[in-house]
Structure 1
Amino acid sequence: MTQDIGKIYEDAITSGLLPGISVFAGDKEGNIVYSKSFGKASLKKGTNLPFTENTLCGIASMSKLMTAVAVLQCVQDGTLDLDKDVKQLLPEIGKYGIITGFDDNKNTAILTPNTIPITLRMLLTHTSGHEYDWFNPWLIKWRASRGEKPLSGPDAEYIATLPLVYPPGTGFSYGTGFEWAGKAVEAVTHLSLDEFMRERIWKPLGIEDDASFFPRVRDGMKDRVADLSTLNEKGEPPAVDASDFSMTGGASDCLGGAGVFATPRAYYTFLSAVFQRDPKILSPTSYEELFRPQLNETLEQCLNDDIASSPEKTQYLGLQIPLSIRKNWSFAGLVVKEGHEGWFAPNTVFWGGFPSCMWFIDHETGICGTAVCQIIPAMHPKVIALYGEFQKAIFNLVKTKMD
């Protein structure tokens, strides 16, 4: 079975679908079941760096799991409260109110005030009313009316300060909640999110030299950063260099929802520690909160409806998990309420990141894994399909040993 995994990715490299990738999977005892790297770290002319487990990659939304852990550490410390209004800490949040339409004749958004408090629980479950502007036609028009571009700006607060798309707590939309959650951590700790994660997550796990929000200015890191590559407009290979594309929208500070760079081995080390509920990171109670499905029946329906609402959202949020499988959301990520034979068990948690990266934690089967590459378009279906095959191979390998 492990030979099959290798062939899957070797063929993807040969076809030009992927320049390079590194994959890891392990069991609940912390043993690595499979790990291998393939291809190159850059398609930039004049470079010939191999893609290895020590290549630093922009992990985009896979940063969210680290930020969720950071928030729960502050909750443990007593400096943050999951259910308290965050306005005192984050005075700019929700200041534009709720967008209910856009007047094309006046080139003006139609806004109504918001009176419902926004909490960290809402921010960590994408129920606060925030949606990524590039997902929402009204927000795209709102940005354009101000001479701004989607998901870009000088800092996290600028990028995250958007009109809400519904009253907080009444819907689901994937958005900038984790940027705000990261700012809340910074507000109470008086540290940057990079400094806080270095002290509370990366150093305890021994990965402080392999994770950073700012790898390009750190000695020992800057020469190991992979370059982004892209497929053509139709999403077809061969991939070409796209190293001028910024996944952080030009922000100079820490984007809690998208800004971490990590090596595949470092991210797997973190993922495995969370999977094993390492007490160096969180308490047992906090781990329960991290993995617990958070959405009530109404909000769960909103999540499932949102994933199915457009081909773009199905591609980006659905992770090619059948739409018929009911899903909920935890602070860690997407939770499947049902299993899929030969693939995953009920309550498996998934999430990914913009450059077609992905991770999973399958509690019942006793495996976790991650696959890290640097390719766009985002969450490319053919690349995500490879991850599905990778996960199935690991699932069946472990199941065979158990039987």
Structure 2
Amino acid sequence: MATFEDQVQQAVEARVIPGVILQASDAKGNFKYERAFGPKNSSEPMDLNATFIMASCTKLMTSIAALQCVERGQIKLDDAVSKVLPELKGLEIITGFAEDGSLTYQKAKTEITLRHLLTHSSGLGYHGMDPRYHKWRKDRGESYFIKGWSIIPRINTPLLFEPGTSWAYGTGLDWAGILVSRLNNLSLEAYMQKYVWAPLGVKNITFHQESHEGVRKNLVKMSIRKGLANPIFGFPERNNEKVDWTNELLYDIPIADEYGGEGAIGSATDYFKILQSILADDGKLLTSETIDEMFSPQLSEGGVKALDEYNNLPFYQGGGFASVQNGAKVDWGLGGELFLEDYFTGRKKGTLTWSGMTNLQWTIDRKAGICAFYASNLLPFGDFPSGDMQVKFEKEMYARAEKGSKL
């Protein structure tokens, strides 16, 4: 029977999935897994120095940074953020469409808090995920693109619901990154370097690959799934096509703004140090009390319902990458999706996890005492073969951690 490593190697050689880095460890150092598989680009093999577009895996780091500000007493979780982010004062909610096709609005009654920003319960969504934003942009005579926009015009949008009453994946962590920067009179890059990366010896994560040679030269070339109508930003689908290289870079280079929700580029092995620190509760980033709060349910009843609806989208239920299957009960913590019951891959109740657009996923399971990271540079998000492999990886890591293997 083929070993797990054999299965991954066969998949990357056949271009069923791109090159990947897979990492896992327990909290006590009895188990550690760290392997690179497949190609980094058309001429080099993947190695453990490889860097990736972190995309929404950036959100965990920004959540940690914001929670550090709470620990310092600079802001409370339930403080209105408008005193630091006046752009979020007095926002309107898009309530629907009138008979003539125009949008209807009403003033929000609730101030947005830091907790709302960190849990996607502020009412701020993503443009590409809601047709109401498409109409709003069109009415303003704007065309929206990922590249070429500065951060405030890009994320300064109306709300989709009353803050605190629902859930929508959106720009809350981008705003949280601006808040951290303004509270500390530092760029988000400088803040992360001083308070998140340096304490763990992280040297190869940045928002500015144009000025970080080590990150830039080790960046894994982006790949796409062939045979899709929109292989960059479209929906995935199951087909028999292989992955191929693309020159897509996702971000402007150089980039002027630092997006706390999606803008980091860096080393998977360095990022894993952050997961290990939170799992071990080593005090280097956050206190035990704050970590406990990270792993506590945060959403209202309406928020849980909206999150469930998101997880029930057809491609997730079909096994897309980072999907939540089998009607699993979930909530949101401060930094990621929180599982309220054991899950078939081995995750225990209380596991915190999230993913990134280029098909990366991190997991921190305090009850089982294990963290894991699956890193690739592949578009579009939700890739089915990658989802299949990530599930195999997670199951394998839980099984090996139980045996206390040290590889």
Q: Tell me the TM-score normalized by structure 1.
A: 0.90
Secondary structure, in 3 states, of the residue corresponding to 2:88? Answer: coil
- Cα RMSD of the aligned pairs, angstroms, is 2.5
Alpha-carbon shift at residue 41 of structure 1 (Å): 2.0
Deviations 1:128-182 (A, max 9, x none): 0011111111112222333221545532222211121111111011111000111
Partner residue in 1 for 2:369: 366
Q: Could you tell me how far apart the structure 1 residues matched to 2:319 and 2:307 are?
A: 13
Q: Could you tell me how far apart the structure 2 residues matched to 1:249 and 1:381 are?
A: 30
Alpha-carbon shift at residue 352 of structure 1 (Å): 0.6
Secondary structure, in 3 states, of the residue corresponding to 1:101? Answer: strand
Partner residue in 2 for 1:42: 41
Structure 1 residues 338 and 288: alpha-carbon distance in aligned structure 2, compared to 1, 3 A threshold: same
Contact 2:202 2:270 in 1 (8 A): yes
Deviations 1:345-394 (A, max 9, x none): 11111111000000111222111110110001112122122111101011
Q: Could you tell me how far apart the structure 2 residues matched to 1:94 and 1:40 are?
A: 48
Deviations 1:204-226 (A, max 9, x none): 11112x11111232233321122
Partner residue in 2 for 1:57: 52
One-letter identity of the residue aligned with 2:364: I
Contact 2:316 2:323 in 1 (8 A): no
Structure 1 residues 250 and 299: alpha-carbon distance in aligned structure 2, compared to 1, 3 A threshold: farther
Partner residue in 2 for 1:229: 223
1:80 equivalent in alignment to 2:75? yes
Structure 1 residues 195 and 245: alpha-carbon distance in aligned structure 2, compared to 1, 3 A threshold: same
Partner residue in 1 for 2:172: 177
One-letter identity of the residue aligned with 1:71: A
1:327 equivalent in alignment to 2:330? yes
Partner residue in 2 for 1:13: 12
Contact 1:154 1:251 in 2 (8 A): no
Task: Decide which of 115, 120, 126 is 1:121's aligned counterpart.
Answer: 115
Secondary structure, in 3 states, of the residue corresponding to 1:378? Answer: coil
Partner residue in 2 for 1:380: 383
Alpha-carbon shift at residue 300 of structure 1 (Å): 2.1
Deviations 1:254-273 (A, max 9, x none): 11010111211101111111
Contact 1:156 1:251 in 2 (8 A): no
Unpaired runs of 5+ in structure 2? Answer: 229-236
Count residues with an aligned counterpart.
Answer: 394
Structure 1 residues 346 and 217: alpha-carbon distance in aligned structure 2, compared to 1, 3 A threshold: same
Q: Could you tell me how far apart the structure 2 residues matched to 1:55 and 1:280 are?
A: 25
1:4-403 equivalences under 5 Å are: 4-43=3-42, 48-93=43-88, 97-102=92-97, 108-145=102-139, 146-149=141-144, 151-208=146-203, 210-234=204-228, 235=237, 236=239, 237-247=241-251, 252-308=256-312, 310-311=313-314, 319-341=322-344, 343-401=346-404
Contact 2:40 2:50 in 1 (8 A): yes
Q: Could you tell me how far apart the structure 1 residues matched to 2:25 and 2:129 are?
A: 34
Deviations 1:288-319 (A, max 9, x none): 122222124443233223322x3257679982
Q: Could you tell me how far apart the structure 2 residues matched to 1:167 and 1:251 are?
A: 33
Secondary structure, in 3 states, of the residue corresponding to 2:213? Answer: coil
Contact 2:80 2:112 in 1 (8 A): yes
Alpha-carbon shift at residue 21 of structure 1 (Å): 0.7
Contact 1:85 1:119 in 2 (8 A): yes
Contact 2:146 2:251 in 1 (8 A): no
Contact 2:110 2:162 in 1 (8 A): yes
Alpha-carbon shift at residue 232 of structure 1 (Å): 2.2
* Percent sequence identity over aligned pairs: 27
One-letter identity of the residue aligned with 2:130: N
Unpaired runs of 5+ in structure 1? Answer: none
Report the more deviating stretch, 246-255 or 287-296. 246-255
Structure 1 residues 5 and 193: alpha-carbon distance in aligned structure 2, compared to 1, 3 A threshold: farther
Contact 2:328 2:339 in 1 (8 A): yes
Secondary structure, in 3 states, of the residue corresponding to 2:83? Answer: coil
